[in-house]
Copies of this chain bind each other. A is one copy, B any other.
Amino acid sequence: MEDVAELAGVSAMTVSRVLNAPEKVRPETRARVLAAVRELDYRPNSAARVLVTGRSGVLGVVCFDTTLYGPASTLFGIEQAARDSDYLVSIASLPALNRSWITRGIDRLRSQSVDGVIVVAPHESAAEGLRNLPPGLPVVDVGGGTDLPVPVAAVDQFTGAARATRHLLSLGHRTVWHVSGPPNWIDANGRVDGWRSVLEAEGREVPEPLVGDWTAHSGYEIGKRLAREPDVTAIFVANDHMAMGVLRALRETGRRVPEDVSVVGFDDVPEAAYFWPPLTTVRQNFGEVGRQAFQLLLDRIAGAEGEARRMVEPELVVRESTGVSP
């Protein structure tokens, strides 16, 4: 920086100003400095800047399994929003979803002086990890959970599940079975609640949900059990991959979809339209969730206080697994 200053015939301070508050420098001086910057290919040292300003331009993301479609898409949305605002994203992935690892993940990021942290860990245990946060560190949660002491951005799982369930009932089914996600996952719980609430409101029987683990494999195993029950005619599955397993189990057992059984999934993964049959599902706009979370974090970094909840509306996408072929 000293060299740049010398080459431009100004002081280091002026160089600093050109880079941080260009309007405070006379245009011709600014031009000289910028020329020198280019000439010497000078790049400011962010460590030094962080040291003195306390702000790093880096935000941290704590997440669990970034190979799952949902978290990966959310992360991607966050990253894009961050890029547009000249933020960089550091990620801390967790070997397991529980309070202690989440706390450690946040600590790891904090030790790198991130300006804020977004937690993408849609599990009840995440809530625990968000109770005793280091003061002064802005944190935003993605996915929800009740009574979190931090702002939240999430897809409205309850509404999505309710829409899926109502859609199935509207087709004339007596009731709707549910293949749920693993216990204590926020999303899984929300979908169970939305499904149950519609059935109860309509005075329908509420079958016991069958618990899967998000994988196609678990969907297949559960599907085989459901396929044996002749009165199962409508199934709401908590994600598309499990729905894929369910579809295959039904087919193997000779139950036709949608003629004998209607199936709805959740997520709308890009392949859902090419399942056999194409899957009716609930689309989640993960990119939007990521963007909202980033915006909430920016607000927090800027000093905003208080509760904040950004709910993104999911959308029912009707395909052949709940209707007749076109």
Q: Which A residues form the contact surface with B (CB < 8 A)?
A: 43-48, 50-51, 56-58, 65-67, 69, 72-73, 75-76, 79-80, 83, 88-93, 95, 107-113, 215-217, 219-220, 241, 244-245, 247-248, 251, 270-271, 273-276
Q: Which residue of B lies closest to A93 (CB)?
A: B79
Of the residues B46, B72, B112, B270, contact of A111 by C-beta under 8 Å: B46
Of the residues B44, B47, B66, B215, contact of A72 by C-beta under 8 Å: B66
- Determine whether the beta carbon of A76 is less than 8 Å from that of B69: no
Q: Is the interface of A mostly helix, strand, loop or mixed?
A: helix
What are the 7 tightest A-B residue pairs by CB atom distance, in nearest-first order? A47-B50, A216-B274, A216-B271, A47-B51, A79-B93, A90-B90, A72-B72
Query: What residues on B are CB-neighbors of A219 within 8 Å?
Result: 274
How many angstroms between the C-alpha atoms of A245 and B278 in the bound complex?
Answer: 11
Q: A91-B91, A251-B276 are in contact. Are A46 and B112 (CB under 8 A)?
A: yes
How many angstroms between the C-alpha atoms of A112 and B270 in the bound complex?
Answer: 34
In this complex, the member of A91, A241, A275 whose beta carbon has the largest number of chain B beta carbons within 10 angstroms is A91
- Determine whether the beta carbon of B79 is less than 8 Å from that of A43: no
- Determine whether the beta carbon of B274 is less than 8 Å from that of A245: yes
Query: What residues on B are CB-neighbors of A245 within 8 Å?
Result: 274
- Determine whether the beta carbon of A76 is less than 8 Å from that of B65: yes
Q: Which residue of B lies closest to A278 (CB)?
A: B248
- Determine whether the beta carbon of B274 is less than 8 Å from that of A244: yes
Q: Which residue of B lies closest to A246 (CB)?
A: B274
Within the oligomer, what is the number of copies of this chain? 2
Query: What residues on B are CB-neighbors of A66 within 8 Å?
Result: 66, 72, 75-76, 79
How many angstroms between the C-alpha atoms of A251 and B44 in the bound complex?
Answer: 59
Query: What residues on B are CB-neighbors of A56 within 8 Å?
Result: 47, 112
Of the residues B50, B65, B76, B88, contact of A108 by C-beta under 8 Å: B88
How many angstroms between the C-alpha atoms of A270 and B93 in the bound complex?
Answer: 20
Q: List 14 A-B contacts (CB under 8 A).
A: A45-B113, A46-B113, A56-B112, A58-B112, A66-B66, A66-B76, A66-B79, A67-B72, A83-B93, A88-B112, A89-B91, A215-B270, A241-B271, A244-B274
How many angstroms between the C-alpha atoms of A220 and B272 in the bound complex?
Answer: 13
How many angstroms between the C-alpha atoms of A304 and B113 in the bound complex?
Answer: 30
Query: What residues on B are CB-neighbors of A275 within 8 Å?
Result: 244
How far is the CB of A96 from the nearest CB of chain B, in Å? Answer: 12
How far is the CB of A56 from the nearest CB of chain B, in Å? Answer: 7
Q: Which residue of B lies closest to A91 (CB)?
A: B89
- Determine whether the beta carbon of A90 is less than 8 Å from that of B92: no
Of the residues B80, B113, B244, B273, contact of A271 by C-beta under 8 Å: B244
Q: A45-B51, A50-B47, A248-B274 are in contact. Are A93 and B112 (CB under 8 A)?
A: no
